[in-house]
Structure 1
């Protein structure tokens, strides 16, 4: 019997062991905070590596599927029973192009056509762009602009048939054939180009993609092709059937085409430019043997002018510019400055054509005087 007022003596508390053994005999380590943080970081990194590896594999699979869907149609195959594929011309961001022969019902040839297919992997956007290109071509009526010859849906893709233009693109002439255009040549070709541009504008459209791959030259003259980005003058941002904005390089305004034409002229003018020889280069580097270097340098310079597509005036790149590097007559230099909106811009293509004609007359009179 326990006596009142007396407490039972408590046994001394035993120290807690740092390690405990579970039923399996394994030792559970008591980790401090730093060790736990390091373990968590290592775990997250490992998980992220697995996730990244999985994403890369998924992207590779998607890319493979896209490439398989966009694989070009082989020569000899007929599309819609009418267009026999002769050769694949190339692939862009939103379409594939073929040279085809149009066959009548009796099998006879109705001539060559350029057949453009909306890219299957980007079907909605590509189809919307091709539909807009069809509308633009149907609005044109010019011998040096392709006619729309058909539009249909086949293999769940939109297709556009247009006149096939034989010749060499300006890009091929400069970079592959090494053709050199002097100032007078550039102005003569510019007169033809601005005639086509003026026609496009008179039909209420702007081309918005006047570049050296989209200009074909042959014995008949200069042809303006590829109306894939064409829009109506003043048109706001266009959308595809799902409401997503369609690609566009610049505002749908007349001055946008004029500025593009100026860049194209600079490519032509730089085709004959020889860059200065550096101190470590032999003098032969600037000779005729460096044509490839000259063309590459000219392309870099011609593309080096930047402008704010929202409407502000263009500014030349830092350092020496085309005005210092190209030996141009004063009227031609003034023409380019106005086309590039460095000075007061032209109101339309017709006014620009008059300035081109005036510059060409000055050159021809100076040549005749010499």
Structure 2
């Protein structure tokens, strides 16, 4: 009984510690909280005004209840973002520390993510729009890979559209190419060597297996993520007929064979796959030109 009470008490304390900062609060004497954007497993995001210069910024704060582990993840993201300089990647501005509180300050990209467009607005995409989005995302990925890093989380929530310009955000899971994460961190992120990494489609294999494949510290993992992102965009306009048996994505979407082959290579279902975003980009440009 005592263990149960103690656990509930810890949960209450953690919820209190992780309660979002109030609008109007001036964090660290410099950043005025304007809006709470959301909370992930290890951090909180806010739009803020830097009162020293009046600029709007994004503040990503480590989750207080996650203690040192939350700060470690945030510091890793800060180091990686600081090393990058690309117009489709949020710019690093500052890393602030104060007691147990730490936050990453970066460029605020005002836009809508693809997940919101599809799930809330009911937005659908043509084949050309979907391929165009993939082409746009290859640009920041090329820069990221050439800098020696891999994103490891290329998904629709992490793609922002600002007036037609595409941005790749959230580098919280990024790492150096080939990096073996500390055991404690791997356990927390549920990255195990025994995972089934052969999920072949949105229908075949679990989404957990898909994510585990995306977490591999190699550029091909980001291309794999692009493949699934493309399928999500195409499925936004797909209507499943009642009573129809579930089929593979190639049968359901009825795409041109050249597109099927390209996506199979992104998903590494066809040989050879690509080892770099540069190689993938060259073939994608040829594909788009052939479909025009």
* Common topology (TM > 0.5): yes
- Once the 2 structures are TM-superposed, how far is the Cα of residue 244 of structure 1 from its aligned partner? 7.7
Say whether 1:72 aligns with 2:17: no
Q: Which residue of 2 aligns with 1:251?
A: 216
SS at match of 2:216: coil
- Cα deviations across residues 98-122 of structure 1 (Å, max 9, x unaligned)? 1001111xxx51x111101110000
Q: Which consecutive segments of 4 or more residues in structure 1 shift more than 3 A?
A: 243-246
- Once the 2 structures are TM-superposed, how far is the Cα of residue 200 of structure 1 from its aligned partner? 0.6
Gaps of at least 5 residues in structure 2 are 192-211
Contact 1:132 1:228 in 2 (8 A): yes
Say whether 1:91 aligns with 2:39: yes
Contact 1:75 1:87 in 2 (8 A): yes
RMSD (CA atoms): 1.8
Q: Which residue of 1 aligns with 2:267?
A: 340
What is the 5 A alignment of 1:184-333? 184-238=128-182, 247=189, 249=212, 250-278=215-243, 320-333=247-260
C-alpha distance in structure 2 between counterparts of 1:262 and 1:276, whole Å: 24
SS at match of 1:86: strand
- Once the 2 structures are TM-superposed, how far is the Cα of residue 277 of structure 1 from its aligned partner? 2.1
Contact 1:237 1:245 in 2 (8 A): no
Q: Which region of structure 1 is more displaced relative to structure 2, 69-78 or 338-347?
A: 338-347
- Alignment partner for residue 176 of structure 1, among 107, 112, 120? 120
Task: With the length of structure 2 as denominator, give the TM-score of the two structures.
Answer: 0.87
Contact 1:123 1:157 in 2 (8 A): no
C-alpha distance in structure 2 between counterparts of 1:115 and 1:239, whole Å: 28
Gaps of at least 5 residues in structure 1 are 1-50, 280-317, 365-370
SS at match of 1:179: coil
C-alpha distance in structure 2 between counterparts of 1:320 and 1:56, whole Å: 47
Q: Which residue of 1 aligns with 2:100?
A: 156
